[in-house]
Chains A and B, each alone.
Chain A
Amino acid sequence: GAVVSQHPSWVICKSGTSVKIECRSLDFQATTMFWYRQFPKQSLMLMATSNEGSKATYEQGVEKDKFLINHASLTLSTLTVTSAHPEDSSFYICSASPGQGGNQPQHFGDGTRLSIL
């Protein structure tokens, strides 16, 4: 149980393109999902908290207009990297939890490797 699916797993595109990444909770509902960015050989950096039916909460230093988050339903959140540039190349991971409390572990998607040429 508690499976999170992330798609696509790998994207290569030209600079200036917008890229959409989907995160789905397959067997549970998630009012909150999280988006992380991971640089090579580094830990996960929380980008934003995605809230179903409301605006996402962005961490300090993360550009809201650059990284658009939409949490359209209790099982789907999307991250759109707008007008992507090479410096946006990274590994993006989403997570969600079946429960609301901090004692519920996050379940992670398999990540999306984004490469901007």
Chain B
Amino acid sequence: AQSVTQLGSHVSVSEGALVLLRCNYSSSVPPYLFWYVQYPNQGLQLLLKYTTGATLVKGINGFEAEFKKSETSFHLTKPSAHMSDAAEYFCAASGGYQKVTFGTGTKLQVIP
């Protein structure tokens, strides 16, 4: 069974600072990995995904994530935080089928 761990339920950064949201997965085989963002009272929007190939994946809104098999990690980064990045972020993993396992989420606060 897969599990997804997000370290830090809340992360605060200053506007313009680096954003780093951590995600580790536990799986017997490398899963497919996703990052989603959720704004209040909305569904989830896909930021980026890793399936195969290049381990550094770029997503929307300037976010990127790197798949590191040796560390079983898929951390999300953005060089410079904007106020509009304030939201909740979910890391997720799936295996050969569509069923997805979500992390517990990290709420990002951006301080002006």
Q: Are A110 and B90 in contact (CB-based, < 8 A)?
A: no
Q: Are A44 and B102 in contact (CB-based, < 8 A)?
A: yes
- Give every chain A residue within 8 A of B90 (Cβ-Cβ): 43-44
Among listed A12-20, A67-75, A80-88, A93-101, interface-contacting one: A93-101
The chain A residue sitting closest to B101, CB to CB, is A46
Residue A108 CB within 8 A of the other chain: yes
Residue A106 CB within 8 A of the other chain: yes
Could you tell me the distance between the alpha carbons of A107 and B95 in the complex, rounded to whole angstroms?
Answer: 17
Q: Are B43 and A93 in contact (CB-based, < 8 A)?
A: yes
Contact of A102 with B105 at beta-carbon distance under 8 Å, contacts A6-B43, A93-B44, A113-B41 already known? no
Residue A35 CB within 8 A of the other chain: no
Could you tell me the distance between the alpha carbons of A109 and B41 in the complex, rounded to whole angstroms?
Answer: 11
Contact of B104 among A6, A42, A106 (CB under 8 A): A42
- Give every chain B residue within 8 A of A105 (Cβ-Cβ): 34, 46, 49
Residue A104 CB within 8 A of the other chain: yes
The chain A residue sitting closest to B42, CB to CB, is A110
Q: How far is the CB of A45 from chain B (nearest CB, A)?
A: 9
- Give every chain A residue within 8 A of B99 (Cβ-Cβ): 34, 46, 49, 102
List the 6 shortest-distance A-B pairs measured between CB atoms, nearest first.
A108-B43, A102-B94, A103-B51, A108-B44, A110-B43, A103-B32
Question: Can you add 4 more A-B contacts, CB < 8 Å, to A95-B100, A106-B100?
Answer: A32-B98, A103-B94, A108-B36, A111-B42
A-B contact pairs, 8 of them (CB 8 A): A4-B43, A49-B99, A93-B44, A102-B32, A102-B98, A103-B49, A110-B42, A113-B41
Residues of A within 8 A of B (CB): 4, 6, 9, 32, 34, 42-44, 46, 49, 91, 93, 95, 97, 100-111, 113
